[in-house]
């Protein structure tokens, strides 16, 4: 049986050999999944690879923040090999190329930054990193060309320099303001996400009470296996969307068991448990709405529940 590391390396090699990133083959994400499954990848392996891609994006962002630009470039490239359809990785590559060019005064990286930004904007027209790179690379390129002239007009150079400084200042103010806005949006989303997770935990706390109702008969054992399968899936490293879907399935399963038991033998214990489950379900619905509203108000590209 292949390890997750082996699955990951095999998948990255397949993506590279197919030339998906270079546009040599035009396939959808679902088609890539089908090809991967034909090569032996399981659904579990696919989900793992997709999660690893997201982790690489997070790592690339961290490297960029800590000025490890080459490591940022590497992590973003690995994210794309894991998931060629992931958003943000191409823009991070462009930003890393630009910052390497500036820090190492290497015009070759400036060209790579511009090219990568162009590729990014073809696929992700609103990527902020790519937009910033295109603006900065254009200004820097004009300055480099002016410096290469044998007899540059000194006055023109001074004026251009002042314009560049002004543009950089304006770009800086714009992106700082935009960054603050995004941080505020992220903060609000994180807060409502915590409330949603709290609602999940309230429902999870009722699982043991429902399991205690199950006996040895065939129907009870079938329900128990279904419960155990959902609980097993909930133990993974899940996105909030995946956890929400599983928690909804869990709530439906718990309610089905309690309502079936109530029909067989009505009691105050079952009535109380039914009320608790309905309360947990309503809390999850409320927090889901709050979460989606926070995403809508933030303007960030986050998948709603």
pLDDT in single tens digits along all 305 residues of the chain:
678 888 888 888 888 888 888 877 788 898 899 888 888 889 999 999 999 999 999 999 999 999 899 999 999 999 999 999 999 999 999 999 989 988 887 888 988 999 999 999 988 888 889 888 887 766 555 545 545 544 455 445 445 554 554 555 555 545 444 554 555 556 778 888 889 999 999 999 999 999 999 999 999 999 999 999 999 999 877 888 889 999 999 999 999 999 999 888 878 888 889 889 988 898 898 889 888 888 888 777 777 88
pTM of the model: 0.48
Exposed/middle/buried for residue 125 (C-beta within 10 Å: 0-12, 13-18, 19+):
exposed
Q: How many CB atoms lie within 10 A of CB 227?
A: 18
Number of H helices, E strands in the chain: 12, 0
User: Long-range contacts for 3-12 (Cβ within 8 Å, ≥24 apart)?
Assistant: 4/45, 4/48, 7/41, 7/45, 7/48, 7/49, 8/48, 8/49, 8/52, 8/82, 10/39, 10/41, 11/36, 11/41, 11/45, 11/49, 11/81, 11/82, 12/78, 12/81, 12/82
Q: Please choose, from the candidates 139, 193, 126, the residue with its C-alpha nearest in 3D space to the C-alpha of residue 166.
A: 139
């Amino acid at each position: 049986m292949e390890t997750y590391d082996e699955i990951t390396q095999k998948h990255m090699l397949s993506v590279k050999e197919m030339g998906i990133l270079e546009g040599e083959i035009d396939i959808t994400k679902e088609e890539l999944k089908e090809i991967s499954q034909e090569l032996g990848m399981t659904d579990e392996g696919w989900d793992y690879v997709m999660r690893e891609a997201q982790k690489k994006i997070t790592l690339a962002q961290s490297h960029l923040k800590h000025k490890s630009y080459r490591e940022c470039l590497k992590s973003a490239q690995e994210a794309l090999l894991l998931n060629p359809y992931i958003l943000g990785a191409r823009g991070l590559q462009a930003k890393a190329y630009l910052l390497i060019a500036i820090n190492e005064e290497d015009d070759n990286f400036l060209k790579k930054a511009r090219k990568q930004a162009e590729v990014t904007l073809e696929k992700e027209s609103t990527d902020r990193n790519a937009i910033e790179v295109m603006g900065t690379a254009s200004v820097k390129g004009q300055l480099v060309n002016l410096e290469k002239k044998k007899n540059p007009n000194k006055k023109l150079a001074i004026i251009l320099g002042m314009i560049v400084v002004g543009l950089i200042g304006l770009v800086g103010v714009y992106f700082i303001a935009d960054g603050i806005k995004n941080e505020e949006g992220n903060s609000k989303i994180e807060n409502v996400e915590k409330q949603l997770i709290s609602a999940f935990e309230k429902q999870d706390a009722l699982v043991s009470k429902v399991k205690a109702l199950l006996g040895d008969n065939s129907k009870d054992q079938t329900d128990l296996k279904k419960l155990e399968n959902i609980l097993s899936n909930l133990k993974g490293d899940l996105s909030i969307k995946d956890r929400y879907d599983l928690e909804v399935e869990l709530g439906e399963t718990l309610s089905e068991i309690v309502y079936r038991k109530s029909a067989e033998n009505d009691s105050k214990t079952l009535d109380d448990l039914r009320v608790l489950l309905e309360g947990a379900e309503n809390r999850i619905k409320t927090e889901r709405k709050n979460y989606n509203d926070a995403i809508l108000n933030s303007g960030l590209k986050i998948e709603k529940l």
